[in-house]
DNA sequence: TCGGATGGTTTTAATTTGAAACCATCGTGT
DNA sequence: ACACGATGGTTTCAAATTAAAACCATCCGA
């Protein structure tokens, strides 16, 4: 937690979120939350991590406003963990991660889960970054503009 | 490295990439590589991490085929680290991370770097996930379809 | 041939992680 | 009322990881 940030990362738009997600367990928890999991035990069973670690990660997600606890849901006396709006904002990131995984981590013939449109069951399109005029742009077509002129951040 | 994966993550399209990126330092290295950094010393200065850690991370990125070394570039007798196609495939993920950061980690009046179109300097659009028919879809509109029918993965 | 720049590795301490044991609360059965 | 299992954690302690610093090697110009 509270990872050390480099001298220039105080202003960096990439490092700041990384500090909040902290580690990959957190992102897997968020993924499971998108899948509808809400209870401590559900996350633990799904991810197979130690309870103390899950506890720490959930605490961190709560502290960063990515998840929140709600008092009940089905009458149980326990609390449940649900995504906040900030947490739901991670959806594109998860999709990007998933699509990258599909592209490079599965053999061509290897079956893998597919993200599909709920309406008709068809796979979703690939994420594309577009310029204001609608052109699809890649990394080569973009640059970062600095607000005041310091590092390369 | 070689993080333990849960019992079901062998098939999960999200956990697999996470194993390759490993930790957030790796992603910051990739980000810097997109920014044009290529040399060991450049990464070290930019990120401010210990040299042994940078060394280990670069080794891991090489092992996963995310970066590769090229013999020279400007005559120096040293090697340089550049992104492979697989590494360049991380661009949408970085954009997603950056946009999420812009949304939730900066005060409304706080200046921050902006990803802009190189052609005209205008900010790029937000990433949007679209269905086959072009509709913009959110998390609620999607689900994962399993290849054979097991867990919820 | 000295000395600095570059690109690492080794060594050692501090932090984090993880497994297991432990504990507390609630609900149920009897 | 009381035992007991399920749930949701915390504590303890060993193992792995990370970080800082020191060290080492190579190339290069003066």
Per-residue pLDDT tens over the stretch B73-109: 777 889 999 999 999 999 999 999 999 999 999 988 8
Q: Who among A13, A106, A151 is closest to B101 (CB)?
A: A13
Band the pLDDT of B148: cuts 50, 70, 90.
low
To which H or E segment does residue A70 belong? strand A67-70
Cβ contact, residue pair A142, B100, below 8 Å: no
Q: Provide DSSP, B42-109.
A: HHHHHH---HHHHHHHHHHHHHTTSEEEES-SSS-SS-EEEE-HHHHTTHHHHHHHHHHHHHHSS-TT
- Helical axes A24-34 vs A91-104, angle rounded to 10°: 100
Q: Which fold has domain A9-141?
A: Arc Repressor Mutant, subunit A (1.10.10)
Q: Calculate the alpha carbon distances from A89 to A66, A84, A120, B65, B75 in Å.
A: 9, 8, 24, 29, 45
Alpha-carbon span B106 to B3, nearest angstrom: 32
Domain ranges, ordered by start, for chain B: 9-141
| Residue-level pLDDT at B12 | 80
Is residue B2 within 8 angstroms of chain A, CB to CB?
A: no
Start-to-end CA distance of chain B, whole Å, equals 23
| Residue-level pLDDT at B146 | 84
Q: What is the mean pLDDT of chain B?
A: 89
**Which nucleotides of chain D have an atom under 7 angstroms from any protein CB?**
7-12, 17-22, 26-28
Tens of pLDDT along chain A (153 residues) come to 444 454 444 558 888 898 888 688 999 999 999 999 999 999 999 999 999 999 999 999 999 999 999 997 777 889 999 999 999 999 999 999 999 999 999 988 888 999 999 999 999 999 999 999 999 999 999 999 987 644 444
Is residue A111 within 8 angstroms of chain B, CB to CB?
A: yes
Q: Bridge partners of A135?
A: none
Pairwise pLDDT comparison (B29 vs A107), residue with the higher score: B29
| Residue-level pLDDT at A62 | 97
User: Looking at chain B from residue 120 to 149, which residues have their Cβ under 8 Å from any Cβ of chain A?
Assistant: 120-125, 127-133, 135, 137-148
The β-bridge relationship of strands B80-83 and A114-117 is unpaired
| Residue-level pLDDT at A22 | 64
Q: What is the mean pLDDT of chain A?
A: 89
Pairwise pLDDT comparison (B22 vs A52), residue with the higher score: A52
């Amino acid at each position: 937690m509270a990872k050390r940030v480099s001298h220039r990362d105080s202003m960096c738009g990439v490092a700041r979120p990384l500090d909040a997600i902290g580690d990959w367990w957190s992102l897997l928890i968020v993924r499971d939350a998108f899948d509808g999991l809400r209870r401590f035990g559900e996350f633990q069973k799904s991810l197979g991590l130690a309870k103390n670690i899950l506890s720490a990660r959930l605490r961190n997600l709560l502290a960063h406003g990515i998840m929140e606890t709600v008092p009940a849901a089905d009458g149980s006396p326990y609390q449940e963990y649900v995504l906040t709006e900030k947490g739901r904002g991670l959806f594109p990131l998860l999709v990007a991660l998933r699509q990258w995984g599909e592209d490079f981590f599965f053999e061509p013939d290897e079956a893998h889960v597919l993200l599909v449109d709920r309406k008709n069951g068809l796979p979703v399109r690939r994420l594309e970054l577009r310029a204001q005029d609608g052109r699809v742009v890649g990394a080569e077509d973009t640059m970062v503009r600095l607000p005041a002129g310091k590092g390369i951040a």
